[in-house]
Structure 1
Amino acid sequence: MTDYGHDLLFGTFATPTVQPVRHAVDLAVVADRAGLDLVTFQDHPYQPRFHDTWTLLSYVAARTERVHLSANVLNLPLRQPAMIARSAASLDLLSGGRFELGIGAGAYWDAIEAMGGPRRSAGQAITALDEAIRIIREVWAADRPGGVRVDGEHYRVNGAKRGPAPAHEVNVWVGAYKPRMLRLTGRMADGWLPSLPYFQNGPAELTPMNEQIDEAAAAAGREPAQIRRLLNIGGEFSPTGRSLLNGPPEQWAEDLAGLTLEYGVSAFILMADDPATIEVFAAEVAPATRELVAEERARTAR
């Protein structure tokens, strides 16, 4: 059992569909008013059925008041890292410190190449992400002397001016599954953001992946508990329990509390495009999960 002790976060993962044109925005407003912590959108710039994620996040920031915002996850190959840093800092400043940076190494290389982006091997994509995160953090470090200098294989920044600094310490959350990406997460990231439906054998697959992240973090001189474990989840509310995240809200709370206490997950992002489902998740599942986790943490601390 692994509980990293983070406070719990609950959020949404809505489809950024172009039609109906404001549906994703309306869902974000529902999440904000319901008291959820986070609103996220996938980033597939080559998909014409979806809004551009940066534009959508900016619009949603203006329409919401308290909820934090993130891509889930940002497509690096089609977005230049120094500009990611500046865009992220601006959105964080304009939103009052409500932006977090979910980022990935890229996938769907045919579509990326068709948009004018690079085609990268798995190793090249990981190296590029490593370089990009270094550049982004250097740009944000507005109080350091001198310009930003990173001479990488894929990205080179030679004396770029620093800043602006974000309004708060923006978290970098990496979407990762394979060993090299998990090791990068352990070395460099503030959080790990996979999707539960990806795991064919269920949440037990989180254990060896957590171990790889923890080992890489320790080797880099970091505390493994520094790295938040987030999880995209899907399920169905039903009158009787049938399986994991398929049952009444009280069962959902027990399931999610188990994911926290056994696998260290502390942020649950619901893949849903239905306002009523989001409201039940916020009003019934989130507080009950927090209560169960707090009770167990208090019991084990005695």
Structure 2
Amino acid sequence: MKIGLLLPTMYPWELDEGALAVAEAANCDSVWTVDHFLSLFHPEIWAERVEDRPFADPDAHFDPFVVSAALGRTTRLALGVGVTDSARRRAPDVARTALSLQSLCEGGFNLGIGCGEAQNLLPFGYDFSRPVARCEEFLRELRSLLDEGRMPDGGVGRLGLPLETAAGKPRVWVAAHGPRMLRLTGEYGDGWLPSWGLDPDEYGRRRLEVARHASEAGRPAPMSGLLAITMIGESRQRIRELYKVEPLAKLTTLAASAERWRAHGLEHPDGPTSRGMPDVITHNLSADALRELAPKIPHELLEEGRFCGSVEELVEQFAAFARQGLEYLVIANVTGSVGGRKQAETHASDFPELVKRLAEL
């Protein structure tokens, strides 16, 4: 299994340089950036949790492509964005960026594409209507530009940049969960990069669906990836205890759908039809209501969206996905988001061991 590390992609810059050094020391295959404007955390609540945290502002996000360009000149690891969306920029602009970064980064560039999230679009005036249809048109143009250097309409629109370097071509990863996006992954993607709320069996079923669509389109099956929020600790039980002490940290479950919240006996603060991460704009919610809600959130709901445990427990959890075809794991290491700096420092040496064990799967 190949392993990537998701970078903070946040101010201050030293955190991103430090994360790259961690990835290199652990023999990761790649590092990936995040493309957000707003965080899932309400800024008022973050201010109450900021002691002993590295980020003073949850919305201090760097531009992911600028970070990739800056770091890509300093490392042999592949760079990537996990993921940008098809709403803010059209395919020709993103294709030019991807080809530029493929030339700048010795290890090449992984371009993750998704439909987008309301929190990164609506507050800034971007259109979030027909996201899947927009993404389909985006991917059709992107594929033509990266493969042929030209727009698919047969006109004069072209890119003169090299389409391939010593590291190969830019690799397109599609963040797909629903049926239409799974189809688009098979038809246009080099890789599949889902994230939230999949158990191993469902992961395997959707992987086969992607492969079927690729076969019907006459394309090889995309590589099967997973972007996994991961917390290393003494044990799953110990991490559970840390969340009891810091219940506000459980508000990351806002990324789960209203359906999943109802399954645990709660109503989603974003409403009964919320899809979670695609829809929620945490900054629009009442900070007081979130404070009151946080202690009531069951840990089981939290674990549906992240992987928690010791190295041994995490290897066991990811091995179940490997048996269902997982080939490329991108880890968002959030160790220390509860327990603070002490927790992060205590388990810093566990990350290289985790990468080593996972690479053997």
| Distance in 1, Cα, partners of 2:194 & 2:205 | 14
In structure 2, the residue matched to 1:77 is 87
8 Å contact kept, 2:192–2:225: yes
Of 88, 107, 124, the residue aligned with 1:115 is 124
**Cα deviation 1:61-107 (Å, max 9, x = unaligned):** 13x31211111101221122111111111111111242111111222
Deviation at 1:172, TM superposition (A): 0.6
| Distance in 2, Cα, partners of 1:114 & 1:289 | 39
Of 326, 344, 358, the residue aligned with 1:265 is 326
In structure 1, the residue matched to 2:264 is none
| Distance in 2, Cα, partners of 1:92 & 1:278 | 31
CA distance 1:185–1:37, shift in 2 (3 Å) = same
8 Å contact kept, 1:182–1:213: yes
1:169 aligns with 2:166: no
1:249 aligns with 2:318: no
Deviation at 1:149, TM superposition (A): 3.5
**Cα deviation 1:36-64 (Å, max 9, x = unaligned):** 111112212466521111111111213x3
In structure 1, the residue matched to 2:151 is 149
In structure 2, the residue matched to 1:94 is 104
Of 218, 229, 234, the residue aligned with 1:221 is 218
In structure 2, the residue matched to 1:297 is none
Deviation at 1:279, TM superposition (A): 5.2
In structure 1, the residue matched to 2:29 is 37
CA distance 1:237–1:46, shift in 2 (3 Å) = closer
**Cα deviation 1:128-155 (Å, max 9, x = unaligned):** 22222232233334xx5xx73335xxxx
**Cα deviation 1:162-190 (Å, max 9, x = unaligned):** 33124222211000111100111111111
- Alignment coverage as a number of residue pairs: 263
| Distance in 1, Cα, partners of 2:66 & 2:27 | 23
SS in 2 for 1:176: coil
CA distance 1:158–1:77, shift in 2 (3 Å) = farther
**Residue identity matched to 2:325:** G
CA distance 1:215–1:278, shift in 2 (3 Å) = farther
**Cα deviation 1:200-230 (Å, max 9, x = unaligned):** x63332133223212212222234xx31111
Deviation at 1:30, TM superposition (A): 2.0
| Distance in 1, Cα, partners of 2:151 & 2:326 | 35
| Distance in 1, Cα, partners of 2:29 & 2:225 | 13
8 Å contact kept, 1:174–1:189: yes
In structure 1, the residue matched to 2:116 is 106
Could you tell which deviates more after superposition, 34-43 or 270-279? 270-279
In structure 1, the residue matched to 2:19 is 27
In structure 2, the residue matched to 1:140 is 146
1:280 aligns with 2:350: yes
| Distance in 2, Cα, partners of 1:252 & 1:46 | 29
Deviation at 1:233, TM superposition (A): 1.6
| Distance in 1, Cα, partners of 2:143 & 2:17 | 29
1:56 aligns with 2:67: yes
SS in 1 for 2:224: strand
Root mean square deviation, CA, Å = 2.7
Give percent identity, aligned residues only: 26
8 Å contact kept, 2:121–2:128: yes
8 Å contact kept, 2:4–2:31: yes
8 Å contact kept, 2:75–2:106: no
| Distance in 2, Cα, partners of 1:136 & 1:31 | 29
In structure 2, the residue matched to 1:189 is 189
Deviation at 1:14, TM superposition (A): 2.9
CA distance 1:127–1:279, shift in 2 (3 Å) = farther
Q: Unpaired runs of 5+ in structure 2?
A: 40-58, 238-302, 336-343
8 Å contact kept, 2:229–2:334: no
CA distance 1:286–1:11, shift in 2 (3 Å) = same
CA distance 1:13–1:279, shift in 2 (3 Å) = farther
Could you tell which deviates more after superposition, 201-210 or 8-17? 201-210
SS in 2 for 1:213: helix
SS in 1 for 2:227: strand
